[in-house]
Amino acid sequence: MIESVSRRAFSSSSGTYNVRASELARERKLNIFNVTVQFLDETQHSFQIEKKAKGSVLLEQVYQHLELVEKDYFGLQFTENGSPPNATNTEITRWLDGSKSVKKQVGTNAQFWLAVRFYPPEPSRLAEEYTRYLLCLQLRKLLLDGTMAAPKSTALLLASFTVQAELGDYNVSEHPPNYLSEMCLLPKQTAEDERKIRELHKLHKGQAPADAEANFLEHAKRLDCYGVESHPAKDYHGKDIFIGVTSIGIVVFQNNIRVNTFSWSKIVKISFKKKQFFIQLKREPSESYDTVLGFNMRSGRAAKALWRCSVERHGFFRLRAPRRRPLLGALGALAGLGAPRVPRTETQALHDARRSRSSNTSFVRRSSSRVRERSEGANGANSVNGANGAGGAASPGAALALRGARVTGCAEPPPRAAWTHDAAANDDDDGGFLERALRVPLSYVDESESSEGGSGAGVCEAEGGGGAGPEEAGGEGGDEVCVRLAAGPDGRFGFNVRGGGGAPVLVSRVAPRRPQLQEGDQVISINGTDVDDLTHEQVVQLIRNTRGILTLVVKPNAVYEPEDGGLEEPAVCFVPLAADAGQLEGDALQQSMLLLGDGLASGAALKQYETLLRRLPDEPSLVSKLPHNLNKNRYRDIAPYDSTRVVLQNGPTGDYINASYINMEIPNSDLVLTYIATQGPLASTVGDFWQMVWESESSLIVMLTVLAERGRAKCHQYWPKVGTSLKATNTLTVNTNSEQNLGHYTRREMTLKDAGGGTRAVTQLQYTAWPDHGVPEDSTAFIAFTALCAHLRTHRAVIPTVVEESNGEERLLDPPMIVHCSAGVGRTGALILAETAIELLSRRQPLYPLDLVRAMRTQRPMCIQNASQYKFVCESIQTAYARGLTKAPSENGGD
């Protein structure tokens, strides 16, 4: 009926109302879910999503709002009670899951915090300057709230880079003495800290914000806890530990010390069951058993969280593309618990960022809200890196509105290179001031060495520094990319290489604002010449000889794919804890080495080491605390026991010296390895040291330190230069006859003369490859050096000393080897342990390093100071055993 009504019936005297459309609009409005996201620069923004929307929808809105290109490294955090995430509430902090509903994950508490989820192992690989800026903001937060610990010297240096990035160059007229008091740079910041940061800030003159941030990240990435997401757990002794997940694998911390690392390449499977988390390690060719490590978590929920975290980081950093969900995954319980997947991997993220590098323009930093001027580069132009262009200052409101957005048209002069091979050359201040006064290291160069094998491995020193921009970059078949670079005014192309001689040629360092190359890129050819068969020197020369455009074919960011499939997880099987007959094949030495290997793999060896007493409570050190002896100790807490201290007969300042006798008996033999472990001489104890050398009849001194490390004096130079003499005491004179630099150690031949006419030839071996903090990178070189010390000990024309034993018998002891580092306990104990182990290996005696350390500490406290030193020596012993160094030292070569 209504169809037949004329249209005129609905003229101006009539009307319509769309009820359904209004209802739909009302329903849409009711389904809107408001969420608030706080960004890393402390600003906030509200987003609207549908109540049924998944996390990926909100994440994409956040990324678009920030115009974030390298978005895969970031995520959104929330807490169960709505409080901001920090170091104290990690148990209730969660990551937003992009595959699940936002509403179901957070409930009514719609507050999120943007945070870095995956920390790039090499921040310089990041193509976007903006991404590096956000990463710096995240790391500063972690350092301030205590989530990420750093040595004081490193924390001061990082704070100085923060000041440079936010305030620009130090200017006396702009920066009064207390200009840092309003900035929160360190936890529990003191006036002395601010003074040191101010002096460091002066040394960064000329660095643009991007360069200061690049230096910040270069030092921060070397911290043990960089990029570690920690999960509290307990070991099998019930001690508290933290299991961390990083880009390289799974690490274990105890007492804030990294005690074990399990790289992804060594892990076969990770799993959890109830409250336990398991790691199955790859079986070595020489092993007949599988190793499965178990850790007790606080709850089943915590075990699952650690498992998910491990799976996600392995998938992101190690895979080329996300693994496909199994066909039976939709069947739920029938297929078992499905492993979480990341939307994309780092390989895909870097590839996409490489393709979009042309959009990498300037942006507004947090510091742009400050009204200030600063020196930009060498030309001295005054500008503010803000929205108003050169010479302008953005208002706080404008900065808030534009924060995080790209800003074009900001002319910025070329910055000072963040890395240079002669940083001090460009400084107005004396770079040595930092070492002398602040005792803080300042480095702009790549201090790491190549991990690749082959004689051609190394760092291409010729190619460091900044260069000109790229000519073009395009695909050239498969995964290979063609990159063309123009040399800068200094003739350099802005990158370093390592490898060659059989090892892959990799890019090892890239200057800032050189985004077309990334660290880890494998160089396939240079100017049309394949580099597969070239040595490192030939690769470097090929680059140096290039005039004009350098054409490279590179394979971007080579990532090793894990093996698919694999055997099912076996039953837990460890090496037996007892050496009973029939349990293991082989002799007692082989059994002890198997136990050592298992202990290092499981972490049990380091845990047992931590239980050792550092000093015996019933052994006093009273003589060292006498008023006239206090200044003879380099460190207050390291002093010899009274029962084993070296007593000088004719000491120039008394009978006390901070030195201990250590005798290491070799079982089933008459051999006793004799040592004097002592501290590095002070300027005031040089005479006491040489008097000890003379009275002990020793002819071999082993020095395990350099004179100064990290700006701190570690040992006074107690020997004269070649061809000169030193009057050590009223009766002793020292002459240095020769000095040879032999790579990782220096050998000096000296003559010690007494006023009575006696003389003695003394050899000093100074090992220079052991840093003050850390351990040497080459265990083979350390074992060779230790074998040399043992060889020189047994080839000395000396007269043994007759010693009366407690049972009334007499025993002949060779004169001791004098060993010292700085304190005379850490590296000194390591060498004593290594030489004793080599002697045991040569006699095919069972070897238990823990017992040897215990024996040392009964004679001098704190021998082998920390777990990293103990682990290094144990691994060196394994290397010596694996290479068949079981012959007597004299049979393994001369000196």
Q: Write phi, then psi, for 183 (nearest 5 degrees).
A: -100, 135
Instruction: Tabulate helix, strand, coil % of the chain (nearest 5).
Output: 30, 20, 45
607 Cβ contact list (under 8 Å, min separation 6):
235, 237, 239, 254, 259
482 Cβ contact list (under 8 Å, min separation 6):
472, 473, 474, 475, 476, 551, 552, 553
Q: Report the catalytic residues.
A: 821
Instruction: Using alpha carbons, list the distances in angstroms from residue 399 to 144, 364, 366, 665.
Output: 24, 7, 8, 72
CA proximity to 319, closest of 350, 292, 275, 288: 350
Angle formed by the axes of helices 826-842 and 849-857, to 10°? 130
Residue type, 497: V
Eight-state DSSP code of residue 235: -
Instruction: Using alpha carbons, list the distances in angstroms from residue 422 to 165, 204, 337, 426, 465.
Output: 21, 14, 55, 8, 10
Q: What does the alpha-carbon distance between residue 419 and residue 124 come to, in Å, rounded to a whole number?
A: 11
Q: What does the alpha-carbon distance between residue 485 and residue 478 come to, in Å, rounded to a whole number?
A: 21
Q: Write phi, then psi, for 112 (nearest 5 degrees).
A: -125, 160
Q: What does the alpha-carbon distance between residue 298 and residue 276 come to, in Å, rounded to a whole number?
A: 9
**Which tokens is 149 given?**
């610990």
Q: What does the alpha-carbon distance between residue 45 and residue 36 come to, in Å, rounded to a whole number?
A: 6
3-class DSSP state of 531: coil
531 Cβ contact list (under 8 Å, min separation 6):
500, 505, 523, 524, 525, 539, 542
CA proximity to 876, closest of 794, 776, 791: 776
**Which tokens is 838 given?**
């080599």
823 Cβ contact list (under 8 Å, min separation 6):
634, 635, 638, 679, 680, 862, 865
697: left (phi over 0), alpha (psi -120 to 50) or beta: left
Q: What angle do CA 708, 711, 713 make, to 5 degrees?
A: 40
Q: Tokens 């007499």 — which residue?
A: 810
Q: What does the alpha-carbon distance between residue 484 and residue 478 come to, in Å, rounded to a whole number?
A: 18
CA proximity to 407, closest of 216, 129, 74: 129
Eight-state DSSP code of residue 869: H
**Which tokens is 559 given?**
């990532």
Asked if 849 and 874 touch (Cβ cutoff 8 Å), the reply is yes
